[in-house]
């Protein structure tokens, strides 16, 4: 299997898996996609309902990775990555929550980060240079990357976060790992951190001594494993015989793009719903065919505050730039903070189920679609984070306190360690050049 850039229309510059993953972004500025995808066979589809999750993962990922990775190695990685459940909870008749928050940092980004780390770990085995991974974070991405890469041999991870701009809980999840994870607290805002990472990746001098890469969300190794839980959800719901409709709370649209890829290999998903907060450039595009990126606005579902979704380019690629055909597969809806908070309250009152603000947006999108379309369907919304990760909004909406799971509160007890750093490229670079990672006090 080769990987091609979304901007390489004639497929003139295919690269191998290793290059696609280490590079992250293609030289022409596009995003990598698998060059050819083979369908899941009818026989395999029939067997899927009785396959355990890791086995489904190997099957699905095998379609995207082909011979780029040995079958046995892929199976081993899938067994490690998918070692937590992704329960489907029926909260109303024919409305299911697909809970993607049972990983180490209680959010779905764990899936992509864990897969990417294992894949890179396998690259580092046949490599003399140490691999260094740098990532800028405004909160949750950094913790998923840290958790995913912690303890992976041959890889040092550097996480740049803006001082005083992440929540206390998020900071704990960034700074308490030690070992091969170094947290760098930059005297600046997220955009500064992002810019330093870009400069590091473009630094020719640094590249001479180190294999430097990023773990940001556009990386194909983070995207592909997310297709797995769509196939899993279908396999566990197909017996109803009804068309399956999946609502995806979206920001950068990596999660939804992964769903489209699952559909592309032949998982019979009937329709997708792109559910956003007021940062609604994709629902707008679906409406009128105009893609107009704009600065993001802050909302209570802040992991979806994205004004220029990076994976939209991949979506266009999958639909050959055809607005009409994208519309046939995806419907977009957007919701404001009041609607989101009311949904958290109403769902809890009516069903006893507590959603986080992102899942609430997904639920609202699903319900809107059901209201507008009069056919019998099995509806699924992705619950992308545990509600206790957003206690302020959830508790305000419910009017009462919620339980914090032990896995989350455990971070509180651990000692933090981060390296303070001026908002200055040379200072950041200097920290990176020191070989040994810092360890917690």
384 contributes a contact to ligand PLP by CB under 6 A: yes
Instruction: For 86-148, list the strands marked E by DSSP.
Output: 88-92, 95-99, 131-136
- Counting contacts by CB under 6 A, is residue 272 touching ligand PLP? no
Provide the β-strand partners of residue 212: 132
Q: How many residues at the interface with ligand PLP, by CB under 6 A?
A: 15
| CA atoms lying within 13 Å on the CB side of residue 261 | 28
Using CB under 6 A as the binding rule, the residues of this chain from 93 to 132 that contact ligand PLP are 107, 109
- Which one among 252, 275, 299, 340 touches ligand PLP, defined by CB under 6 A? 252
* Alpha-carbon gap, residue 150 to 179, rounded angstroms: 7
From 149, 158, 161, 253, residue interacting with ligand PLP (rule: CB under 6 A):
253
Nearest Cα to Cα of residue 31 among 266, 264, 318? 318
- Count how many Cα atoms sit within 13 Å of the Cα of residue 121 in the half-sphere of its side chain: 19
**Is residue 63 a contact point for ligand PLP (CB under 6 A)?**
no
CA pseudo-torsion sign 151, 152, 157, 163? negative
Q: What is the largest CA-CA distance in the chain?
A: 61
Q: 340 or 384: whose CB is closer to ligand PLP?
A: 384
Of these, 304, 347, 377, 388, which contacts ligand PLP (CB under 6 A)? Answer: 304
Nearest-approach distance from CB 305 to ligand PLP, in angstroms: 10
Under the binding rule (CB under 6 A), the answer on residue 255 touching ligand PLP is: yes
Burial 378-400 (b: 16+ CB within 10 A, else e): bbbbbbbbbbbbbbebbeebbee
| Window of 252-260, 261-269, 323-331, 337-345 that interacts with ligand PLP by CB under 6 A | 252-260
CB of 293 to ligand PLP, least distance (A): 15
Which helix (DSSP H) or strand (DSSP E) does residue 47 occupy?
helix 42-47
* Residue 138 touching ligand PLP (CB under 6 A): no
Tell me how far, at minimum, the Cβ of 411 lies from ligand PLP, in Å: 16
Q: Degrees (nearest 5) of the Cα angle 284, 288, 289?
A: 95
Which CB sits closer to ligand PLP, 192 or 255?
255
Instruction: Using the minimum distance from each CB to ligand PLP, give the nearer residue, 109 or 271.
Output: 109
Cα dist from 122 to 53, 67, 117, 320, whole Å: 22, 15, 9, 34
Closer residue to ligand PLP (CB): 4 or 303: 303
Residue 271 binding ligand PLP, by CB under 6 A: no
Tell me if 305 contacts ligand PLP by CB under 6 A.
no
Backbone angles phi, psi at 226, to 5 degrees: -70, -20
**In the bound complex, what is the minimum distance in angstroms from residue 107's beta carbon to ligand PLP?**
5
Residue 381 in the binding site for ligand PLP (CB under 6 A): no
Enumerate binding residues for ligand PLP (CB under 6 A).
107, 109, 140, 249-255, 303-304, 358, 384-385
């Amino acid at each position: 299997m080769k990987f091609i850039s979304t901007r390489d229309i004639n497929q003139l510059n295919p690269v191998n898996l290793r290059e696609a993953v280490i590079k992250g972004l293609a030289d022409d500025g596009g995003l990598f996609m698998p060059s050819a995808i083979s369908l899941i066979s009818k026989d395999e589809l029939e067997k899927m309902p009785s396959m355990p999750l890791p086995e489904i993962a190997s099957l699905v990922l095998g379609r995207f990775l082909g011979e780029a990775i040995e079958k046995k190695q892929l199976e081993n990685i899938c067994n490690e990555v998918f070692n937590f459940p992704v329960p489907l909870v029926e909260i109303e008749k024919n409305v299911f929550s697909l809970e993607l928050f049972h990983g180490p940092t209680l959010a779905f980004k764990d899936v992509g980060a864990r897969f990417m780390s294992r894949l890179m770990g396998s690259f580092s085995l046949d490599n003399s240079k140490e691999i260094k991974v740098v990532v800028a974070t405004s909160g949750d991405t950094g913790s998923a990357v840290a958790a995913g890469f912690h303890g992976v041999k041959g890889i040092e991870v550097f996480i740049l976060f803006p001082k005083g701009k992440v929540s206390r809980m998020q900071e704990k999840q960034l700074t308490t790992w030690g070992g091969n994870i170094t947290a760098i607290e930059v005297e600046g805002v997220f955009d500064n951190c992002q810019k330093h990472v870009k400069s590091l990746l473009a630094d020719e001098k640094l590249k001479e001594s180190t294999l430097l890469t990023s773990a940001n969300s556009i990386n194909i190794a983070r995207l592909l494993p997310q297709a797995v839980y769509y196939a899993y959800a279908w396999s566990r719901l197909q017996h109803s015989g009804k068309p399956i409709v999946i609502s995806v709370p979206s920001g950068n649209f990596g999660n939804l793009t992964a769903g489209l890829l699952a559909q592309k290999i032949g998982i019979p998903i009937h329709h997708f719903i792109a559910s956003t907060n007021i940062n609604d450039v994709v629902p707008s595009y679906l409406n009128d065919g105009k893609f107009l990126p704009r600065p993001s606005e802050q909302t209570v579902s802040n992991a979806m505050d994205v004004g220029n979704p990076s994976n939209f380019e991949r979506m266009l690629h999958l639909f050959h730039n055809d607005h009409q055909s994208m519309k046939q597969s995806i419907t977009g809806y957007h919701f404001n903070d009041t609607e989101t908070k009311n949904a958290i309250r109403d769902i809890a009152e009516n069903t006893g189920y507590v959603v986080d603000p992102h899942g609430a947006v997904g639920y609202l999108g699903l319900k809107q679609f059901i209201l507008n379309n009069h056919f019998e369907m099995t509806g699924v919304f992705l619950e992308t984070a545990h509600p206790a990760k957003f206690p302020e909004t959830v508790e305000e909406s419910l009017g009462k306190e919620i339980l914090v799971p032990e896995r989350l509160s455990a971070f509180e007890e651990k000692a933090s360690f981060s390296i303070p750093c001026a908002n200055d490229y040379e200072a950041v670079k200097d920290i990176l050049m020191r070989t040994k990672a810092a360890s917690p006090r």
